[in-house]
Structure 1
Amino acid sequence: MRRVLCVLTAMIVFGAAAALCQAPQAGTTTITFQSSTYSDFRQLLMREAPNGTVTIRARLDFPDEARDRYPAVIVVHTISGYRDANEGYAAAELRKAGFATLTYDSFAARGTTGAALSGSPAYLPAGVADAYAALRRLASEPRIDADRIAIVGFSYGGEMAHLTAFERLRSALNPGPGRFAAHVAFYPAGNYGVIAESGAYTGSPVLMLLGEKDDNLPVAKIESYLAYARAAGNPAPIETVIYREAHHAWTVPSLVTLRFYPDYVSTKKCPLILLGSRGPAFLIDGQAKPFEPGFLGACMSEAPGYSMVFDAAVREQSISDAVQFLRQKLQP
Structure 2
Amino acid sequence: MYRFLCLLMASIVFGTAAGHCQTQAGTSTITFQSATYGDMRQLLAGEATTAAVTVKATLEFPKQVKDRYPTVIVVHTLAGYRDANEGYVAAELRKAGFATLTYDSFSARGTTGTALQGSPGYLTVGVADAYAALRLLSRDSRIDAAHIALIGFSYGAEVAHLAAFEAVRSALTPGPDRFAAHVSFYPGGTFGAVAEPGAYTGSPVLLLLGDKDDNLPLTKIERYLAYVRAAGAPAPIQTVIYPGAYHAWTVPDLTTVRFYPDLVSTKKCPLILLGPKRPALLIDGEAKPFDPTAFGTCLATAPGYSMGFDTAVRAQSIADTISFLQRSMRP
TM-score when scaled to structure 2? 0.96
Aligned CA RMSD, in angstroms, stands at: 1.5
Q: 1:245 to 1:141 in 2, by over 3 A?
A: same
Deviation at 1:9, TM superposition (A): 2.9
Q: Distance in 1 between matches of 2:275 and 2:22?
A: 47
Deviation at 1:276, TM superposition (A): 1.5
> Which residues of 2 match residues 1-332 of structure 1 at below 5 A?
1-10=5-14, 21=20, 23=22, 25-331=24-330
Amino acid at match of 1:84: D
Deviation at 1:22, TM superposition (A): 6.1
Q: Distance in 2 between matches of 1:49 and 1:218?
A: 33
Q: Distance in 1 between matches of 2:277 and 2:27?
A: 44
Q: Distance in 2 between matches of 1:42 and 1:83?
A: 30
Deviations for 1:173-209, whole angstroms, at most 9, x for unmatched residues?
1010000000000001110001101111001000000
Q: 1:19 to 1:128 in 2, by over 3 A?
A: closer
- Alignment identity in percent? 67
**Aligned pairs, number:** 327
Q: Distance in 1 between matches of 2:245 and 2:58?
A: 30
Q: Distance in 1 between matches of 2:263 and 2:52?
A: 27
SS of 1:37's equivalent? coil
8 Å CA contact 1:44, 1:50 repeated in 2: no
Divergent runs of 4+, >4 A:
17-20
Amino acid at match of 2:197: S
Deviations for 1:143-176, whole angstroms, at most 9, x for unmatched residues?
0011110001000000000000000110011010
Amino acid at match of 1:326: L
8 Å CA contact 1:6, 1:20 repeated in 2: no
8 Å CA contact 1:39, 1:51 repeated in 2: no
Deviations for 1:102-159, whole angstroms, at most 9, x for unmatched residues?
0000000011100000110111111110110011011111100111100010000000
8 Å CA contact 1:150, 1:180 repeated in 2: yes
Q: Distance in 1 between matches of 2:23 and 2:47?
A: 44
Deviation at 1:290, TM superposition (A): 1.1
Q: Distance in 2 between matches of 1:143 and 1:24?
A: 6
SS of 2:123's equivalent? helix
Deviation at 1:47, TM superposition (A): 2.4
Deviation at 1:45, TM superposition (A): 1.2
Q: Distance in 1 between matches of 2:146 and 2:23?
A: 23
